[in-house]
Chain A
């Protein structure tokens, strides 16, 4: 019981570290798209680890936590995708260091 609590606590702390990194990424990244990416990938993994840690510590809550994890896995990437696509659509500039813009290539190909 004690060991499960310690392991779960460590996993949760690693998860919250990822959340912190995601927050740093939002401040640090050069343009909207990179920020969305940092805010999504890091927080998805962070939240998953955090919930998994709670699940290890309290195995009785695992079914509910599994539903939560599934929900986050489904919604987080989709919402950031929609945000980024909308930002691209209204023409928010990419950083000058961008090397590829596949969405624009795709749209231009569709237009021709």
Chain B
């Protein structure tokens, strides 16, 4: 009862806060200084049809590098803790249904294709490296759902991940010498606005980010796959494991 009253009071308080925020809200008449600069000069300086990508990868490229690093750290820390609990025994799992197997065989290639499309076209259309990488990892989730014991080469994943991260930073440093600064995309010529080969280094950087994020998330998922379900855990029937 007390809990409910408390929750109700909290709701009222929140409503009050949002009411104040709403009343003080004014629609901005014009872009602020930074945004106006991006909107005016972004297209000619970077040459990307997707202005958001231009900002994320070039103007704020350092922040993106930081985000990728955060993701990397998260994956490493998680895998460290998951490793600790790992007791490698043979997991017995129920065979997945024919429907799921068929569907994943049909869908997984298209999901990977879509992921690659999203990060290759990151400078032209909505999306980009992070989104494409997440789509690729979701394809891997489907694969693991279909066959939880599937062998995924974590060594390959780790190699692709570190190679793309390394090249990403390397190209960023190349920008210092060949163009205006770290992660400047004007190392390569700008190309024709709106085509696949445009915006200088931007598509290459986005492909690298996509590969890095995709392999990072996939590596994380395979770590979860390795964790043994404890005895008497949440799925009591898992031990029976006959093929149904």
Which residues from chain B contact A100 at a C-beta distance below 8 Å? none
Stretch at the interface among A16-24, A28-36, A50-58, A78-86: A78-86
Q: Tell me if A97 counts as interface (CB < 8 A to partner B).
A: no
Q: Counting chain A CB atoms within 10 Å of each CB, which of B234, B235, B237, B244 scores highest?
A: B244
Contact digits for B206-244, partner A, Cβ 8 Å, 1 yes 0 no? 000000000000000000000000000011110000111
When the two chains form their complex, are residues B244 and A81 in contact, meaning their CB atoms are under 8 A apart? no
When the two chains form their complex, are residues A81 and B94 in contact, meaning their CB atoms are under 8 A apart? no
When the two chains form their complex, are residues B94 and A89 in contact, meaning their CB atoms are under 8 A apart? yes
Q: Tell me if B97 counts as interface (CB < 8 A to partner A).
A: yes
Known: A74-B107, A75-B103. A81 touches B237 (CB 8 A): no
Q: Counting chain B CB atoms within 10 Å of each CB, which of A74, A75, A78, A85 scores highest?
A: A78
CB neighbors of A among B5-54 (8 A): none
When the two chains form their complex, are residues A85 and B237 in contact, meaning their CB atoms are under 8 A apart? no
- Size bin of chain A's contact surface: 10 to 19
When the two chains form their complex, are residues A91 and B103 in contact, meaning their CB atoms are under 8 A apart? no
Q: Tell me if A90 counts as interface (CB < 8 A to partner B).
A: yes
Residue of A nearest to B103 (CB): A78
Across the interface, A89 reaches (CB within 8 A) one of B145, B237, B243, namely B237
When the two chains form their complex, are residues B100 and A81 in contact, meaning their CB atoms are under 8 A apart? yes
Which residues from chain B contact A106 at a C-beta distance below 8 Å? 244
Across the interface, A82 reaches (CB within 8 A) one of B97, B107, B234, B242, namely B97
B117 to chain A, nearest CB (A): 12
Q: Tell me if A93 counts as interface (CB < 8 A to partner B).
A: no
Cα of A5 to Cα of B96 in the assembled complex, Å: 45
Cα of A106 to Cα of B242 in the assembled complex, Å: 13
B98 to chain A, nearest CB (A): 10
Cα of A38 to Cα of B139 in the assembled complex, Å: 26
When the two chains form their complex, are residues A78 and B99 in contact, meaning their CB atoms are under 8 A apart? yes
Cα of A74 to Cα of B94 in the assembled complex, Å: 23
Known: A107-B244, A110-B242, A111-B242. A91 touches B237 (CB 8 A): yes
When the two chains form their complex, are residues A75 and B107 in contact, meaning their CB atoms are under 8 A apart? yes
A33 to chain B, nearest CB (A): 15
B241 to chain A, nearest CB (A): 11
Contact digits for B82-124, partner A, Cβ 8 Å, 1 yes 0 no? 0000000000001011011001001100000000000000000
Which residues from chain B contact A111 at a C-beta distance below 8 Å? 242
When the two chains form their complex, are residues B235 and A90 in contact, meaning their CB atoms are under 8 A apart? yes
Cα of A9 to Cα of B237 in the assembled complex, Å: 49
Across the interface, B99 reaches (CB within 8 A) one of A81, A90, A110, namely A81
When the two chains form their complex, are residues B145 and A90 in contact, meaning their CB atoms are under 8 A apart? no
Give B contacts to A, CB under 8 Å. Answer: 94, 96-97, 99-100, 103, 106-107, 145, 234-237, 242-244
Task: Identify 4 new A-B residue pairs, CB closer than 8 A, beyond the known A89-B237, A90-B236.
Answer: A74-B103, A75-B107, A78-B99, A107-B244
The contact sample of 8 A-B pairs, CB cut-off 8 A, is: A74-B103, A74-B106, A78-B103, A82-B100, A106-B244, A110-B243, A110-B244, A111-B242
Give 9 closest A-B pairs by Cβ, nearest first: A78-B103, A81-B99, A107-B244, A82-B100, A110-B244, A85-B97, A78-B99, A90-B235, A74-B107
